[in-house]
Structure 1
Amino acid sequence: MAALKAVAVVPGYSLGPFTLGTALHEVLTLVKEDKLQYPIINLHHSQVEPLTTPVVVSLPENGLRLQFDGPDQRLRLIEVLDFGKVKLQHKGSDFIKIHEDSPPLSGPVFKRVYSLLGPSFPGEYNPPRDRSRHGTYALSWPGVAFNFPLLDSEWSDSKDHVSLLGSHVALPATSMALFEGQSWPEARRDLFVKQPVGPRSSMLASRPKDGLPLEIEHAHVQADGSVDLLRDGPAGCFTIVLNETTTQDLITELGPPDAHHKREERGATPDQNGHKRTGSTSWPPTNGRPHIGSQPSSYSSTGTDTFETDFDSGDAEEDASDRASRQRFWCYFAHGMDILVGPPVDKVKPAERKDRTPLGTSQHLVVLKVIVHGNVPGSYAFNRHRRLRWSIASPIDTSTSSNFLTSEHNFEHDIKPVLMAVYADTATGSEMGRGMVVNRTWGPEGSSESSFYLPDAEEDLEDAGGSSEQWLGNTKLYAFPGLTFEVLENGAVSALTVC
């Protein structure tokens, strides 16, 4: 068996490459790129409430379990469940000291942990729940805790925990946990709800002064359609105003995009419009894609594939002015957004223009649309972008907290009733409430029909396609003035488009 790679333990901060507070998207991207180091990745989440319950990533071949909160998807708890699959070090010293004349230990003994971490306050003793002779003594230091099996018959409140754990009645530790807090009893009270100390990006944690763009904490949609991107620190809020904010503004405030992609015409397949036209920046949709031939998730709300994109290297056959003026999506995977940019749209009526210069002749490209991604576990687009939470000022009094519609609200129960009430008198109100169905399992090849399907009001969705299996992975699009919601079957919003 190959020697284990040493992993540094920094209490309250990190275990090897995993830093507390890091976004789920970044952690999954990290482990998926290193298949030799992390051959098995298990993801556990609630199918009913994926945004309000913790998301758990298990790495069984590495003896690790990582727990993330549901709403913000940030790493809150790092657990070592098998010390035989990971070599832990603290300040260069091994937690398990190996002696040539002694059998290997299953975990670190108390005396070794004590010598590395120092004195601690008394912990908590939990008696055995089955017929086992050993209970569990949880002992914590700031940011780290260990579970030691302790002979139940020897336990007493009057005995000093150092003497007990350092004697023969205690066994080596069976697990370890890293968290933000002074002690485990204190930290677990609000482990998944308090604001993490560390940033979402490990790059910001390791290189805070390199001029990297500040991470976006929240996106708030104003009544006039502008989007406030809230950030910590002196940078504060960056407001995107549709048809006004330029691409230079985006680069200045958000940095260059991670990738960009030419906008596809609605109803056209990738082969028809995306991979036979010059200047397209998307890779073939069958490259490592689970549903071969199916349209990527972002087609529903953005009209583009953001799964595998790259910067456009240009094309000699393409007119330079056309390349500068066409609409294009700027993909910010680390910020959780896609932004459509293009020539300004002249919204002035022809009779009112008179001698005005048309906006379409402007030299500057502006923001036309903003897509905020929810990174909902179980969705087709999961882990293509990190999760960006959003809120919308509710136009009427609601029962929702703080009078805001948020990314954690259930669309069917909380968001849809409010918006339907606001637009009840509009001519398209009934269409707004029905939602267009986007099928994720039908490929576009060999079919000229659109991937959108609008069932009749009385028609059952499961029966519409002839078989319920054909509708696995479907989402519904609900379009309201200036807003489009992509909604999963459980009511979670996987993407919000502001246009």
Structure 2
Amino acid sequence: MPNKPAMQVHPRRGLGFLTLGASLHDILTRLKAQPRTYPTIDISYSSSEPLMIPVFLNLPSNGFRLRFDGPDQRLRLIEVLDFTKTQLRYNDKDLFKFPEASPTPAVDTGPAFRQIYNRMGLTNLEEYIPPILGSGSDQGILVWSYPGVAFTFPVQHANWSPKVDFVTLLSYTAPASALSMAIFDGRSWEEARSDLMIRACPYPRSLALSSRGRESRPDEVDLVRVGANGKILLDRRASSPFQMVLGKTTPQDLVAELGPPDAIYRKYDRRLSIHKTPPRDRKTGRAYSRSPPTNSDGLVDTDESSTHTSADDSDVEDHEMVKENTSSDLSAECFYNYFDHGFDVFISYPANRSPTLSPVESEEYGYESNTKKLVATKMLLHGNVPGSYPFNRYRRSRWVIDFQIAELDVNLDSETPYTALSESLAELWPGDLNKRAMVLNRDFWGDSPGSSCELLGSWEDSTNAQKKGMESNAKGGPGAGNTKLYGFPGLLFEVLKNDAVSCLTVY
């Protein structure tokens, strides 16, 4: 097999760098960074239940299929379906070799049972699966398992007998090549497949944490617990929880606990400024007429041309007053982007706000009065929902809304459809607040992801979007990138048309 990549087989752990438990975002990012080795990447998912049904990542040019659970998007199963695409090695030796007379083997050629037996040894973890009744097939499947790895072989049902041992059956009675190989976490395939998608993962989501040098990297966040009045608790994989308090947690606290951000983003978007309270002069109390920042302030504003209008002398005077008072403040405000954690934190100067819920006990809440100090004032938790516009920009962040109040009808978590979430939250805030929505068009508000992936599920509102690349889908028909924003006090939900929450903003 000349010019074929070689990958080490690690039972119960993974295949090469593909580590069980790794996040879909981490695996997909690594694969996309090697287009020559992995030229084709297909993603299959459920368009109606993208957070409940497993996500399949197919690599036809490499002969692999990767299976991720829906809620946490962690790698649970690695399948080798074509042994001719990649050279497999076990303990630094070839797991099998193709005959020299056939440098280009047939597609259905796989390792013989004797090759696997000689390389991996004997096992008593066998299982025979007879052909399905009424299928018309006379061929069953024999699963030859070791802890964490299993092979399947075709067997004529007429040749199988419980009195014949499996070694004899595969070596003499029905010698055949393996059809596939599976790598999983478990003692045997028969034992593991019952809870394959829900069992605890022994390895972290981050591939970097699975490799050397992990001591210098921050621990990953398992779950974000959103409490009342700006309190957010971050449960971590191996470290103690870290509590953020909006309006009090400083950027230094974030770097110390979560590590430096993957990126820092500064942007002032005028399209939302209409919903804000206009700034006022501290001496006169008069409201300014215009939001001040421009590109000359060092900020990114992609829509300046569409919002620029002529101004009279009074507007110019007001504009200069605002610029003098706030340009330095706004240039310091920014988003800390934590792509590997799955969230953003907005760093700004605090301002007064109403509490999320009335405190049960007498305690202080809200922002500090020291307006000269930058603090975390907002947190964006990204869902990484397959089929959404920002898919694979962030690792999926799982969250739960925990106000520590009376029992509600449903779980308030990241997997709950928004309709059920809103019905329960409406019990806390009576009225029609949750029914009012703003439409957010991702087609025009952001750049195309420019992905080489092929999405095999349906795009949000496009029936002809199947089997097209992400970039063409994102630039597709009207409304293809539309989402809706629903607000509750302190909470803002971005909801897709399939009722999945794409992003939760806590402020």
Residue in structure 1 matched with residue 396 of structure 2 by the alignment = 387
For 1:421, the equivalent position in structure 2 comes to: 427
Query: Equivalent residue for 2:409?
Result: 399
The gaps in structure 2 that reach 5 residues or longer are 274-290, 307-323, 355-367, 448-460, 463-475
- Alpha-carbon offset, residue 438 of structure 1: 1.2
| 3-state SS, counterpart of residue 256 of structure 1 | coil
Q: Could you tell me which amino acid in structure 2 is paired with residue 343 of structure 1? A: Y
SS in 2 for 1:418: helix
> Which residue is equivalent to 2:124?
121
2:417 and 2:164 mapped to 1: Cα distance? 51
CA distance in 2, matches of 1:222, 1:192: 28
Q: What RMSD in Å do the two structures reach over aligned CA positions? A: 3.1
- Among 239, 245, 252, the residue aligned to 1:248: 252
Q: 1:274 to 1:439 in 2, by over 3 A?
A: farther
Checking the alignment, whether the CA contact within 8 Å between 2:154 and 2:179 is kept in structure 1 is yes
- CA separation of 1:273 and 1:213: change in aligned 2, threshold 3 A: farther
Shift of 1:279: 3.0
The letter for the 2-side match of 1:440 is R
The match for 1:276 is: 295
Quick one: which of 467, 485, 488 aligns to 1:477?
485
What is the CA-CA distance between 1:358 and the residue it aligns to? Answer: 5.2
Instruction: For residue 444 of structure 1, report the CA deviation from its aligned partner.
Output: 9.4
Q: 5+ unaligned residues in a row in structure 1: which ranges?
A: 286-292, 295-317, 349-356, 446-460, 463-467
Counterpart of 2:86 in structure 1 is: 86
Check the 8 A contact 1:67/1:75 in 2, yes or no.
yes
Q: Which residue of 2 aligns with 1:231?
A: 236
Shift of 1:208: 5.8
Say yes or no: does 1:216 pair with 2:227: no
User: Residue 495 and residue 84 in structure 1: after superposition, are their counterparts in 2 closer, same or farther (change >3 A)?
Assistant: same
8 Å CA contact 1:261, 1:280 repeated in 2: no
For 1:37 and 1:479, the matched residues in 2 are separated by 45
Which has the higher relative contact order, 1 or 2, with Cα contacts under 8 A spaced 6 or more apart?
Answer: 2
1:17 is displaced (CA, Å) by 1.7
CA deviation after TM superposition for structure 1 residue 202, in Å? 1.2
CA 1:215 to 1:190, structure 2 compared with 1: closer, same or farther past 3 Å?
Answer: same
More displaced, 34-43 or 339-348? Answer: 339-348
Distance of 1:15 and 1:227 partners within structure 2: 37
Paired residues for 1:85-484 under 5 Å:
85-101=85-101, 104=105, 106-129=109-132, 130-167=135-172, 169-207=174-212, 209-233=214-238, 235-267=239-271, 276-280=295-299, 322=328, 326-345=332-351, 359-362=370-373, 365-393=374-402, 395-400=405-410, 404-412=411-419, 414-424=420-430, 429-442=431-444, 469-484=477-492
Distance in 2, matches of 1:444 and 1:142, equals: 46
Report the CA distance between 1:95 and its aligned residue.
Answer: 2.0
1:487 is the counterpart of 2:490: no
Cα gap change, 1:330/1:383 in structure 2, threshold over 3 Å: closer, same or farther? same
> Quick one: distance in 2 between partners of 1:418 and 1:408?
14
Distance between the aligned counterparts of 2:341 and 2:124, measured in 1? Answer: 41
Kept after mapping to 1: 8 A contact 2:414/2:501: yes
**Distance in structure 2 (CA, Å) of the matches to 1:197 and 1:16:** 17
What do residues 386-412 of structure 1 show as CA deviations (whole Å, max 9, x unaligned)?
A: 011100125443232xxx411111111
Residues 267-302 of structure 1, C-alpha deviation per residue, up to 9 Å, x if partnerless?
079xx99993443479x89xxxxxxx99xxxxxxxx
Partner of 2:494, secondary structure, is strand
Matched residue type, 2:169: L
Deviations 1:97-129 (A, max 9, x none): 234356847101111111221111141212234
Q: Percent of pairs identical after alignment?
A: 43
3-state SS in 2 of match to 1:166: helix
Aligned-partner SS, 1:371: strand
For 2:326 and 2:418, how far apart are their aligned partners in 1? 43
* TM-score, structure 2 normalization: 0.78
How far apart, CA to CA, are the structure 2 residues paired with 1:206 and 1:366?
A: 33
Using the alignment, how far apart are the partners of 2:248 and 2:169 within structure 1? 69
Query: What is the rounded CA distance, in whole Å, between the counterparts of 1:263 and 1:443 in structure 2?
Result: 12
- Using structure 1 for the length normalisation, give the TM-score: 0.79
| Number of residue pairs matched by the alignment | 427
Partners of 1:275 and 1:167 in 2: CA distance: 79
In structure 2, the partner of 1:309 is none
Change over 3 Å in CA distance of 1:275–1:359 after alignment to 2 = closer
- Does the 8 A contact of 2:250 with 2:375 survive in 1? yes
Alpha carbons 1:485, 1:496 under 8 Å: kept: yes
CA distance in structure 2 between the aligned counterparts of 1:384 and 1:438, rounded to whole angstroms: 18
Aligned letter for 1:71? P
Q: CA deviation at 1:152?
A: 2.1
SS at match of 1:421: coil
**8 Å contact 1:264–1:273 — kept in the other structure?**
no
1:267 maps to amino acid: R
How far residue 489 of structure 1 moved from its aligned partner, in angstroms, is: 0.9
Is the 1:325–1:342 Cα contact (8 Å) retained in structure 2?
A: no
Inter-CA distance 475–320: structure 2 relative to 1 (3 Å threshold)? closer
Asked whether the 8 Å contact 1:346–1:360 carries over to 2, the reply is: no
For residue 469 of structure 1, report the CA deviation from its aligned partner.
Answer: 4.5
Change (3 A) 1:277 1:90: farther
Match of 1:41 in 2: 41
CA–CA separation in structure 2 for the residues paired with 1:204 and 1:275: 41
Q: Distance in 2 between matches of 1:213 and 1:264?
A: 30
Paired residue type of 2:156: L
| Equivalent-residue separation in structure 1 for 2:82 and 2:294 (angstroms) | 48
Cα distance change of structure 1 residues 260 and 44 upon mapping to structure 2, 3 Å threshold: same
- How has the CA–CA distance of structure 1 residues 198 and 444 changed in structure 2, closer, same or farther, with 3 Å as cutoff? closer
